[in-house]
Amino acid sequence: MGKARCAPRAPAGTGPRDVVYVIASMIVGGTQTHLLQVFRFLDRERYRPHLYCLRDEGNLIETARGLDVPVETFGMRGSLRHPGDFAGLLRMRSVMKALDPSIVHGYLLRGNFFAAAAARAAGVPVVVTSKRGLHAPAGAGERFAVGTSNRLSDIVTGNSPAVLEFTREIERAPSLCMEMIPSGVDTARFDPAVARSLRDELGLGDAPIVGTAITFRPRKGFRMLFEAFAAVRERIPDARLLIAGADAYEPDPEALARQLGILDAITLLGRRSDMPDVLQSFDVFVLPSQSEGMSNAILEAMAMGLP
């Protein structure tokens, strides 16, 4: 694959440096939540953030704009097999070239690939890509995207030692310029002394509550979670399972819950902006995901003092 570049210093300037963050969408998720935290706490005297989204999706786009972050969307699907995505890549390059940022920072597989490709074509001096999970590329297209973004990056970051090891061993990325940047949580927001429980609002009373925050993708482990909860219900019949996550479910979790006989004990909360209050309602937090690097959700649960 060749050697990764060691990042040069971004050119010095008199004002804050423009930094472009690239991600596929701003649909609610751990990485998107992390990115909003970056925008909230970034030193604006030194850095001026910009957000580029491949797709105009997710209500967190408006949240980013509310944090005084300019947003560009490119109408892409995240695959060079689609003609519109190549046009989107060319437009991203043009927008970057006009902005002339010091740094471009990609997130997740598609964001990494398009960030690195557009930034190199635009002559951006520093390209950073981020790894946040342990799922191997699926198919030749994803392997190409991962390999290309690794080769074009000055620095590859991971949010845990396991992620960096995975990147070296499975993705065969050069290890010369890798950095670990652990995930974190805003403990002022996730404070059990401040949050309020939603038990009464949800009509749950004193029932024992197992809770989680996941999206319904196979690697997030919801099938294993449902099967384990079915076993719990055999011993604790009044136990309830609360799930905060995406509004769109594919595959349909209700079919599996009905098959296991636990549908009446599950509450799907959808996307939530009040996660401290949601977590305050749980007795136990569970993370069934099979591919997390350093889960934001579990850090938030720990900050709330949940077992």
- What DSSP character marks residue 292? B
Q: Which domain holds residue 219?
A: 199-303
Tell me, yes or no, whether 176 and 208 share the same domain: no
pTM: 0.86
CATH of the domain at 251: 3.40.50.2000
Q: So what's the pLDDT on residue 1?
A: 39
Q: So what's the pLDDT on residue 9?
A: 64
pLDDT means per 10 residues, the chain with 307 residues, are 54 84 92 93 97 94 97 88 87 98 97 97 97 87 92 94 91 82 91 92 92 81 91 96 73 84 92 91 93 89 97
Q: How far apart, in whole angstroms, are the C-alpha atoms of residue 56 and residue 44?
A: 25
Tell me, yes or no, whether 29 and 136 share the same domain: yes
Alpha carbon 140 to its chain centroid, in Å, reads 23
Q: So what's the pLDDT on residue 290?
A: 80
Question: Hey, is 219 helix, strand or coil?
Answer: helix
Q: So what's the pLDDT on residue 83?
A: 77
Question: Hey, is 173 helix, strand or coil?
Answer: coil
Q: So what's the pLDDT on residue 125?
A: 96
pLDDT digits (tens, 9 = 90+) for 265-279: 999 888 888 999 999
Q: Is 189 contained in some domain?
A: no
Q: Is 90 contained in some domain?
A: yes
Domain total of the chain: 2
